[in-house]
A and B are shown apart, each in its own frame.
Chain A
Amino acid sequence: MKLSYRTAMREALREALRADARVVLIGEDIGKYGGTYAVTLGLLDEFGPERVRDAPLSESTFVGAGIGAAIAGLKPIVEIMTVNFSLLALDQIVNGAAALRHMSGGQLEVPLVIRMATGAGRQVAAQHSHSLENWYAHVPGLRVVAPATVADARGMLATALRERDPVVIFEHVQLYNREEELADPAPAVDLDRAAIRRPGRDATIITYGGSLPCSLAAATKLAERGIDAEVIDLRSLRPLDEATLVASVSRTHRAVLVDEGWRTGSLAGEVAALLGERAFWELDAPIGRVCSAEVPIPYAKHLEVAALPSAEAVVAAVEAVIA
């Protein structure tokens, strides 16, 4: 059956609420309003206000409450409207959720799932458009995932809920309307492995989340020019599936990283360093990076487009490492 990314996410939440009475949803405008991106539409009517909890605008406190609830036996799924707003809760996530197991000598567990929208492309400017996945991927104690397909949007939540520790899920705003065929019942999803979305021999394009569609479009264009690019979707941003990345680059000997985050201090930089450490002698060319321009994301459409990775830029980067 054909499903949108948004509906897939909603079905995953509905399944979680049905399956486990400990699951509660907490977030701004997830109930009456139906969710900023309409992911939670209808869930309040179906499950009631005790389980679908509209929270006041207080990111730090409702995320912290999610942490406390997780410690004391619930399985909260907290939604933060956008990654930009999550900075208001960064203290609770980094100093609390990520650290409590270790800081308590293994006594406390925080089985908390935090979902948030990320990324640009909707002309909502510099306080709603950023990609800060790398900030979270930096932190030990967190697991960070980015579903880039409808199947992953449908399946990653259930896998995340089986973890005994915090998981952060990044949903790119440009993906919500994408539709794909999905088997019914939807297949279980493994969080540990990166996925080869398109096999290829000549170069490896490594990407995640909202940059997967433009990376695949670039691979199609490259194929027209006789270049057979492999496209890898990281899926898990922490930990990284090093084996899949190293194996791919060992076959293609060339790598281009596509990351909507800013280049400086990016996940792309982390993957490049990893390939430098583990696959240096396999590389036939310097590693290429396609990232967002180093600018707060601007409003005007042409400027926003110019700031973001594009299929054309990916094509050019792959051609550069092959030339």
Chain B
Amino acid sequence: MTPTRDQALAMLRSMIRIRRLEERCAEDYAAGKIRGFLHLYIGEEAIAAGIIPALAAKDAIVGTYREHGHALLRGVAAEQIMAEMYGKSGGCARGRGGSMHLFSREHRFYGGHAIVGGGLPISLGIALADKVRGTGAITCVFFGDGAVAEGEFHESMNLAALWKLPVLFVCENNQYAMGTALVREHAEPELYKLAASHRVGAERIDGMDVVAVAEAAGQAVERVRETAAPWFIECSTYRFRAHSMFDPELYRDKAEVELWKQRDPITLLVKRMAGVVTEADIAAIESGADDEIARACAFAEASPLEPVAELLRDVRASGEGT
């Protein structure tokens, strides 16, 4: 498929918005404005940019702790995302979650889960509820190659296939579970085969090629919606940055990182669309993204801290949970 100019610009805008947001996150982390763990998605943007626009507003999303980009593309305001990372009351979780726990009920963006594999069972339940209630919505769950080693992955594939649940599984295989390389963690490194062994329809695609991701996503979303059965997409990708801000990257060669950077999803798309997408287009997108992020950071700076008197709110609805 060759995207139209408008399609290409939309995909480029998605990826650049994530890239710029996260570059700013890294700066703000160095400046001490963001603390805790911060996991950057830089290098993997083509996946969220290809998958999320293929979903309908009524569909649900479950993400991991590397989910800033997913939240942003789903429509969660950059203001709320940055304020959450700054730990402010204007954040989407009122400063309770931070970088790893972004949520927006309004957008059916159900986290933000930092127990590897833990979002998978939850995604099945959301899909079950939509199936029982006949909403026609599907659930899209993102997870990494590390999650595939967890028991919950296999349990979830089995249950989704057995109960015929409308779940789109998106495996973001960035080749490392934190610092453990794929082949050191998986006896079967072709992860999509593990899903297929549970009789979940599965495919593997180039996760650096946003056009390929978007094409697969469009077909998969349609298939899951029509059959109300699960589907699995393994996206081969690579994170350009460290696992988190505390990671000295002792486990991989710089040459390997450089090799993958030659397949930067943004550059790949720009090259592919040479002559259709111009330097001026890119500059306009970058400038728009920078403005959006500057506004978000200004909002986050100005947002007040949650009063300590509110510490115990939202433990239980009735307030007696403590």
Please report A residues at the B interface, Cβ cutoff 8 Å: 24, 50, 53, 55-56, 58, 60-74, 76, 91-92, 95-96, 100-109, 140-143, 163-165, 192, 239
Contact = CB atoms under 8 A, between A and B. Distances in A.
Given A66-B125, A68-B139, A72-B125, 4 more contacts: A64-B152, A65-B159, A72-B128, A109-B317
B313 interface: yes
A142 B316 CA distance: 8
Nearest to B128: A69
B118 A92 contact: yes
Contacts of A58: 151-152, 155, 158-159
Contact of A101 (B118, B121, B317): B317
B92 A72 contact: no
B318 interface: yes
A67 B122 contact: yes
Contact of A96 (B103, B122, B158, B320): B122
A91 B118 contact: yes
Contacts of B96: 102-105
B127 interface: yes
B219 to A, nearest CB: 25
Contacts of B110: 68, 71, 108
24 contacts: A53-B163, A56-B155, A60-B155, A64-B121, A64-B125, A64-B156, A68-B62, A68-B110, A68-B128, A68-B139, A69-B128, A71-B126, A95-B115, A102-B96, A103-B97, A103-B112, A104-B101, A106-B314, A107-B104, A107-B105, A108-B103, A108-B110, A140-B315, A140-B322
Contacts of A66: 125
Nearest to A69: B125
A108 B112 CA distance: 12
Contacts of A96: 113, 115, 118, 122
Contacts of B139: 68
B103 A72 contact: no
B132 A67 contact: no
Given A64-B118, A72-B60, A141 B321 contact: yes
A218 to B, nearest CB: 31
B317 A61 contact: no
A307 B112 CA distance: 44
A57 B71 CA distance: 33
B40 interface: no
A104 B111 contact: yes
A56 B162 CA distance: 9
B125 A67 contact: yes
A64 B120 contact: yes
Given A65-B128, A104-B96, A105-B93, A163 B318 contact: yes
Contacts of B91: 105
A165 B152 contact: no
B129 interface: yes
B318 A107 contact: no
Contacts of B60: 72
Contacts of B115: 91, 95-96
Contacts of A102: 96, 314-315
B123 interface: yes
Given A74-B128, A106-B313, A141-B316, A68 B162 contact: no
A96 B95 CA distance: 18
A61 B159 contact: yes
Nearest to B157: A61
A69 B139 CA distance: 12
Interface in B219-260: none
Interface in B137-153: 139, 151-152
Contact of A164 (B105, B127, B318): B318
Contacts of B163: 53
Interface string B66-94: 00000000000000000000000001111
Nearest to B312: A140
A40 to B, nearest CB: 18
A292 B227 CA distance: 53
A92 B60 CA distance: 19
A104 to B, nearest CB: 4
B97 A105 contact: yes
A71 B155 CA distance: 20
Interface string B151-173: 11001101100110000000000
A56 to B, nearest CB: 6
Nearest to B124: A65
Given A64-B122, A68-B122, A105 B314 contact: yes
Nearest to A192: B320
Given A50-B132, A102-B314, A56 B158 contact: yes
A92 B152 CA distance: 10
A76 B94 CA distance: 28
Contact of B130 (A60, A64, A65, A72): A72
Contacts of A107: 92-93, 103-105
